[in-house]
Amino acid sequence: MIEDFRRHVTLLPEVVANYHVGGANDFLVHVAVRDAEHLRTVVLEYFSTRPEVVHIETSLVFEHEYRWELPNYACPVESR
């Protein structure tokens, strides 16, 4: 069922990113939509109709910041 859902999500033009996560929910699906009505349509037509989907939560993103640089976790070399 996971692979079926993943394939389905990959084909949707509104899907920007799809994350398979641990915790209470199995997937976090990032969609880009025109407005709240478009979001409603995506949820009701593309997700609610899937047999493997039993729970949906939506959140609106008002602002977004992204750090392109990853932290450096390398252990410092001890000097002798």
Domains and CATH numbers, the chain: 1-80 (3.30.70.920)
Average pLDDT on 67-73 reads: 87
As a whole-number percent, the residues of the chain with pLDDT over 70 amount to 94
Residue 1, amino acid: M
Which tens digit of pLDDT belongs to each residue from 5-34? 999 999 999 999 999 999 988 999 999 999
Instruction: Show the beta-strand stretches assigned E in 1-80.
Output: 15-20, 27-31
For the entire predicted model, the pTM comes to 0.76
Q: Give 2's pLDDT tier (boundaries 50, 70, 90).
A: confident
E strands, 12-54, are 15-20, 27-31
